Structure 1
Amino acid sequence: MDFLPDFVPVDIDPTSGFPTLHLSYIMEILIPRRFVGPERIRDQVQKVFNGTQAIGKVDMKIVPVGSKAEGYNIPDAVFAGQGRIVFLSDVDIILANDKIQVCEDRFKMNDEVYMVHLDTNGVHPGYGTLQLIRKPKGDHFAVLYDEKMDAYYMSGTKYQTEFLNQVLEGSEEEREMYELHGPALQYQDNKPFTYDRRKEKIVNPFDHIHGFHCDDWPSVANEWTTRYRSNGWLSPELVQRIVSKGCYLVPVPHKRSKNPDVEWRISFAESEQMVAEYAVTNAQRQCFIFFKLLRYQIQQETSKKLLSSYCLKNVFLFCCEQLPVAAWDVNPGHCLLHMLDCVQTCLQQGELPNYFIPDNNLLDLFTDEDINTSIVLLDVMRSDVISLVLNFTDNHVLVYEGNGCLTTKVVFRSVIASVLEDVPTYIKTRNVVNSLTGAFLRTQCDIAVIRLRDGRSPFEYHKAFMDCFLSSHLHDIHIIDLFNLIGLNLGDIVASLKYFELLLQLQNVYPDVVKVKGNLACMYFTASQLLKSISGKELGRADELFKEVLAHEGVHFPTTIDYSNYLCHAQKWREAGLLLEQFVRFERKCHKCSNSYNSMESVTLDPVLQKEFAHTNLLHLSSLSLAYYYLIKAYTNLHLDFSDHLYDFDQHCASIQCAVDFQLLGYCYVNGKNYPNALKSFLKALEVDPSNDVAAQNVDFCEEKLAKEKIQNGSKWLSKGLVLVLRIVEMIVRNNLI
C-alpha cells in the first residue's frame, strides 16, 4: 500500500473545514473507547457460543468470526421514540468440520491424519482448491472427480447445498428463522426485539457458513509474516502465534472463477480476530466503528451501496500498520479522516489489496459502476462527516452491553450543541484550552445533568474527558478537580446535590473524593436559600458536612471560610469568631487559600458580597480577606473591639493590591463608621480597577457621608458661637442695668 497518502495531522480538516479536535470529542461521546475494548470482544464471542448452542448447532466446531467477534460491530441501537432495537451488525460464524483435516505442506500428505490438500496454484490469489489426498472409499455428496486431472476435489457448491437442504428438512418454525445470505445462511429471532426485552436471552441474528480448518499457514500469505512494520504495532510473537493457527477454507469461489464448483476462499477470520483482540487498540477500534457507522448512514440516505465493510477493514488494518500507534489516541478524528482518504485513493487507483495477501485485489470483485458509486458516496461522506452522524443519531440511540446508553430522552445533537457552536470560534482562534475549558466542559455538565435525571452515573464520561483530552493539555489538573468543577457548574441545585452525593459513594475508586464534602456542604447551604425548605434539613446537612470536613482536614482550608459564612448566616457569631481567629493566625503566614462563588452559590452571600458578585458574576478573592471580613462582622455583632484585626486587614490589602479586597476593607471601615479610611479603601479599589462601578458608587457614598459630617460639624461650631455671643450680650445688659 505504498500509494496511500501520507499521514500529516492537522487541526482543521481542509476538505470538510471541521476541527479534528471537535470530531475526536464527538467520537468519544458517541462511541466511548471504554465500551469497545478487548473485554467486549470476549463477551461477544461467548454470546456467540451461547446462541449457537441454544439452537442446537453444536455438532461442529464453532468459530466466531466477523465484526462481532472482532469488536468492530456498530453497537445495537434503539429507534428513537419507538423502543425497538435494531441489530446493525450480524454475528458471523464458521461451522468447521474438524473430522476432515486439511494441509498445504506436501510433506504432510503421507500423514494419515490429513485427508485434503490445499492447492493455491492456477486460481485467483486468496483462493484455492481442495484435492483429496486419497481416493474416497465410497460416494460422498461433496466430492467431484476431475477426469482430466484424475483427481478428486471437495465441491464447495455441493457442500453448502447439502447444508441448506438439511435446514429445509427441519420444522416449519425452524425454516422460517433461516434466510439465505449469499453463500451463508442467516438465523434470526422472528420476534421483534424491543428495549424492554434487552435483559432477555435473545439470540442475535447470525450468518453461518461451513468450512474446513487448514493446519498450515498458506504460502500465498508468507509476505505478511515477514512484512516490515515501522510502528511496532504487531509484535513478532503475535505474528508467530497467528501463523501457528493456520487458516480456514470456506465454500466461496471468486466471482470470476473458471471452476466455481471446486474453488474455496482462504479465510483469515481467526487471524483477524486475534489481531483485533491482541493488537488493535481501543482508539483504533473506535475509529473503525465510527467509519462503519458513516457507511451505514450514507447507504440509508442514498439507497446506494458503498464498498463492503470487509474492504474497509482491510484498509483499516493497513492504516494500523502504517500510522503511529499513539496518533489514534491523540487525534482519532484525523485518523478517521485519513482512513476515508485512503479508501478514496484505493478506489481511484483501482487497487485495494487484501491485508494478508496483497496480491489479492479486493476491487476485482466489483464492477466499474460499483466503484464509481463508492467514489461518489465517499466524496459526500468526506465533505460532511458531522451531518451523517447527526442524522443517524436523530433516529438511533446506541446501546452498549451492560452499560445502557448515553440517554434515550435527549437527541445527541442537543447533547453536543455547545461543541458544534464552538467550531467557528475555534477555527478563528485555534485555542485548544479555551475549547476544552469552555464548550467541551459545558458539554460534560450537560451530560451530568442528563445522566442524573435518568438515574445513571456520569463519572465515566468525565474520566474519559480527562484521560483523552484534558490531561494532554492541562497537566496540573486532577480528576477530583474536574469532578468538583462540573458539580459546581451544573446550573441546577438538585442535580448538584445528587452529583456530589453520588460522587462520595466512589471513595473506593477515588479515595480523594472526600475532598468534595466541603463543596457538597456549600451546595446544601445554597439549596436552603434557593428551595426555602421549611424543614431546614438542607441547613442541617450543610452543618453536618462542614463539621466533618473540619474534623478531617483542620481549619486551614477554604472550607473554613464557607463554614464561617454559614455560621454568620445562622448568627452564631461567637462560634464564627473563634473559628476565624484560628484560620487567620495560620493563613497570615502562608497566604495560600482563595475562595470562589458562582451565580448559584452567590445566594448564600450577604447583601454586601452579593453586590460585589454582581459586578463580574463571579466572586474570587483571597480567603484571608474574607476571613477578616467575616471576623470583623462577628466582632461587631458581639460588640467586641476589632481595631487590631482591621489594621492587619489594611496591611494585607496593601500587600496584595486587589480591587475586591480593598472593597471588603472599605466595607469594614464603613461598618465602624470610619468614612475617611473607607473612602481611601474604595479609591484604592478604583485605582486598581478603574472599570469597577461598585467601587465608584462606594466612593460617592463615602464622599456624601463625609460632606454631611462636615456640614454637621460646621453647624455645631456655629451653634456654640451663637451661644457664646448671647451670653456676652446677656452680661452687658446686666452691667447696664446695674
Structure 2
Amino acid sequence: MLGYGHELRQKRRECYTERDRLNTARWGNALEVITVGSKAEGLSRYLESDTDTVCINNFVKCIEAGCDINSIPEDTSVFRMDTTICNPGHCLLLLERGLPLVCLFAMCDNGHGKILLSSEAYVNCHKKMSHFLRGPIPNERAGPSLPVTIGCVKHDLVYAFRCHCPSILQRWASRSRHWPPFNVVEKVVSMGAFVTPVGFKGSESKNIEWRICFNTGETELMINLNDAQIKLYVLLKMIGKDVLKPRHKEITSYILKNIVLWLAEKNPQSMFHEKSLLFWLREALLELRIALSNKQLPYYMIPERNLMATELTDTQKRRWIATLTDMLGEGPAIIRRLPLIRQAIISYPDPFLWYNTRRIELEIILLEFIKSAPCLNGNYFANMFNHYFRHGLMWRLLVICYDVFLKMFVEDSTYTCIEFDCFHILTRMLM
C-alpha cells in the first residue's frame, strides 16, 4: 500500500517503456531515449525523485581496444576507448573513424597527434543546443546530466554513446555467483554498455574522461531481484534519505543499490524471504558501515572502480558510522526511524488504507498519461489536460483531490473551504 508492490512496479515499468518508445520514434534513427534508474525499475512514485533519461546518439559508437572496427557500419563514426591512463571504469575517447557533426565542437588534440572527445565540451554543446532549438532550458550540470524541469517533473538528461566492451562484460559474467541466473546474465551482457560524459572527480584529466556505465543491464538486474530484495533496497533508500541525510550525495541510492546487488550475488536466493527481511537490513547496514570506515565499495559491474572514492570528510564519516552503530543496536525497532513507515503504523488501518487507495489510483491515472503522450513534446500541461478530457479522466482526478481536501478540512480546523488547490494536493500526494 506504500506504492512498492509488484503490480504497481510493473505498471510503472510498462508506462515508462512505452513513453521511451514514443519519444524514440519522434527522432527516427538518430536518437534513442531510455528511462533508467528508479523510474525504470518501478521503485519510485511519480514525483518521488527525478526522472533519469539517457539520450543515445545512434550515429556514434565506442569500442574498446582489440575490437574490430569493420563490424560497425561505414556510416557510423567510431571512437576507440583508451583506459590506460584513467581510473577504473573511466576512459578517453580517441577518434578512429568519421567526423560526427554533433561532436565537432567538442574535439581536441591529445598532444600526440590524436583527436579525442572532451566530455565537458560535449555537455556544454548540448546545453547551447537546447537554447538554440528552444527546448527545455537545462539547469546547472550535475555529474553527467543536464537537469531540466518540464511541468512539475524534474528530468536528468544524460547524452551518451553506446560502447562495445566485451572483455569487461565477460569478466563480470564469468564470476562465480548465486545470482543472477544464467539467462539473466546472458541478457545483461547482450545489452552492452554506454559511455557518459563525466570523469573521475580526483583526476587531472576529468574534463576529457568518460564513465563506462551499464544502465539498461542494471535495470534488468533490479527487475530480477525477488520481493524481499526489492523491499530491502526500498528500506535502505528510506534510511539514506530520512536518517543519514547526505548533503552532497556522499551516500547515494546508487551506492545502496550496489550493496543489495552484492548481497544477492554472494548469498543463496532461498535466504531472502519475508521473514528474513530485517536480518538482511542489518547485514546491508553493516556493509555500509564497513564501506564508510574503509572508504571502499566496489562497483558491482567493474569491481576495480571504488564507489566510495568521494570527498568524504572524517567528521561526516564518524557521524554516519555512529548513527549506523546506534541503528544496528536497535534491532527491528530500526524501522520506526523511517517517517513513511512510522506514519503507516500510526494511521493503520482505516485512514491509511483510505488515503493510499486514492493515491495509487491517482498515480495510475498519471502513468496512463505519460504512456500515451510524450512529456518532452510541446506544452506539458496542454498535453496533459487534453489527454484527460479526451479520455474522461479529468473528473476522476478532481474528485480524488477534492475527497482528500475534504478529509483535511474535517480533521484540521486550520483549513477553509476556499483553500482548495487541486495542483498542490496532487503534487503532495505523488511525492
Shift of 1:267: 0.6
Q: Which has the larger radius of gyration?
A: 1
CA distance in 1 between partners of 2:91 and 2:15 (Å)? 33
Partner of 2:150: 189
Whether the aligned pair in 2 keeps the contact of 1:94 and 1:209 (CA below 8 Å) is yes
The answer to whether the Cα contact below 8 Å between 2:107 and 2:117 also exists between their aligned partners in 1 is yes
Write the letter of the residue equivalent to 2:162. Answer: H
Shift in Å, 1:249: 0.2
Structure 2: unaligned runs, 5 residues or longer = 359-431
Q: Distance in 2 between matches of 1:351 and 1:165?
A: 37
Indicate whether 1:70 and 2:32 are aligned.
no
One-letter amino acid of the structure 1 residue matched with residue 260 of structure 2 = F
Q: Which residue of 2 aligns with 1:254?
A: 200
Tell me if the contact between 1:183 and 1:252 (Cα under 8 Å) persists in the aligned partners. yes
Correspondent of 1:264 among 192, 195, 210: 210
Deviations 1:295-352 (A, max 9, x none): 111255x868651111111111001112331332232122122111111122223320
> 1:361: Cα distance to partner?
1.3
SS of the residue aligned with 1:258? Answer: coil
| 1:31–1:382 CA distance, 2 compared to 1 (3 A) | farther
| Alignment pair present for 1:296 and 2:232 | no
1:407-446 aligned at under 5 Å gives the runs 411-415=343-347
Distance 1:280 1:101 in 2: 31
Question: Deviation per CA, 1:127-149, whole angstroms, max 9, x where unpaired?
Answer: 1111111475999211111222x
For residues 357 and 254 of structure 2, what CA distance do their matches in structure 1 show? Answer: 36
> In the alignment, what sits opposite 1:240?
186
Q: In structure 2, how many angstroms separate the alpha carbons of the residues matched to 1:304 and 1:125?
A: 23
Partner residue of 1:332 out of 273, 277, 281: 277
Instruction: Write out aligned runs for 1:35-434 (5 A).
Output: 35=7, 37-47=9-19, 60-73=31-44, 75-76=45-46, 87-111=47-71, 112=74, 113=76, 115-134=78-97, 136=99, 140-148=104-112, 150-169=113-132, 171=134, 174-175=136-137, 178=139, 180-190=141-151, 204-217=153-166, 219-229=167-177, 231=178, 233-277=179-223, 279-299=224-244, 307-330=251-274, 331-369=276-314, 370-384=316-330, 385-389=334-338, 391-392=339-340, 411-415=343-347
**What amino acid does structure 2 have at the position aligned with 1:106?**
G
CA distance in 2, matches of 1:33, 1:452: 14
% of aligned pairs identical?
A: 23
Residue identity opposite 2:144 in structure 1: P
Q: Report the structure, 1 or 2, having the larger strand content.
A: 2
For residues 197 and 132 of structure 2, the distance between their equivalents in structure 1, rounded to whole angstroms, comes to 21
- TM-score scaled by structure 1? 0.43
Classify the secondary structure of the residue corresponding to 1:153.
strand
Aligned CA distance change for structure 1 residues 305 and 129 (closer, same or farther; 3 Å): closer
Which protein has the bigger helix share?
1
Deviation readout 1:390-420 (Å, 9 max, x if unpaired): x3456xxxxxxxxxxxxxxxx523245xxxx
- Code of the aligned partner of 1:414: I
Any conservation in 2 of the 1:211–1:248 contact (CA below 8 Å)?
Answer: yes
Matched ranges for 1:639-654 at <5 A? none
**Which residue identity does 2:158 align to in structure 1?**
I
Of residues 323-332 and 252-261 in structure 1, the stretch that sits farther from structure 2 once superposed is 323-332
Structure 1 residue 55, shift from structure 2 partner: 10
Q: Distance in 1 between matches of 2:147 and 2:70?
A: 38
Q: Which has the higher contact order (CA 8 A, sep 6+)?
A: 2
The one-character-per-residue Cα deviations of 1:584-626 (angstroms, maximum 9, x if unpaired) are xxxxxxxxxxxxxxxxxxxxxxxxxxxxxxxxxxxxxxxxxxx
Structure 1 residues 307 and 55: CA distance shift in structure 2, 3 A: farther
| Distance (Å, rounded) in 1 between the aligned partners of 2:149 and 2:357 | 32
CA contact 1:179–1:187 (8 Å) conserved in 2: no
CA distance in 2 between counterparts of 1:329 and 1:130 reads 44
Distance 1:46 1:378 in 2: 40
C-alpha deviation, 1:240, in angstroms: 2.0
Cα drift, residue 88 of structure 1 = 2.4
The 2-side partners of 1:63 and 1:455 are apart by: 29
Alignment of 1:588-603 (within 5 A): none
CA contact (8 A) 1:125 1:220 kept: no
- Asked if 2 retains the 8 angstrom alpha-carbon contact of 1:94 and 1:208, the reply is yes
User: Equivalents in 2 of 1:188, 1:121: separation in Å?
Assistant: 38
Give the structure-2-normalised TM-score. Answer: 0.71
Q: Distance in 2 between matches of 1:392 and 1:54?
A: 39
Deviations 1:88-112 (A, max 9, x none): 2211111111101222253413454
Residue 205 and residue 236 in structure 1: after superposition, are their counterparts in 2 closer, same or farther (change >3 A)? same
User: Where in structure 1 are there 5+ consecutive unaligned residues?
Assistant: 1-28, 77-86, 192-203, 395-410, 417-446, 458-738
Q: Is the 8 A contact 1:98 1:212 kept in 2?
A: yes
Q: Secondary structure, in 3 states, of the residue corresponding to 1:212?
A: strand
Q: Does the Cα contact within 8 Å between 1:63 and 1:93 map onto a contact in 2?
A: yes
Change (3 A) 1:140 1:382: same
Which residues of 2 match residues 595-614 of structure 1 at below 5 A?
A: none
Contact kept, 8 Å, 2:250 with 2:311, in 1: the verdict is no
Match of 2:425 in 1: none
What code does the residue aligned with 1:346 have? A
Aligned residue identity for 1:95: C
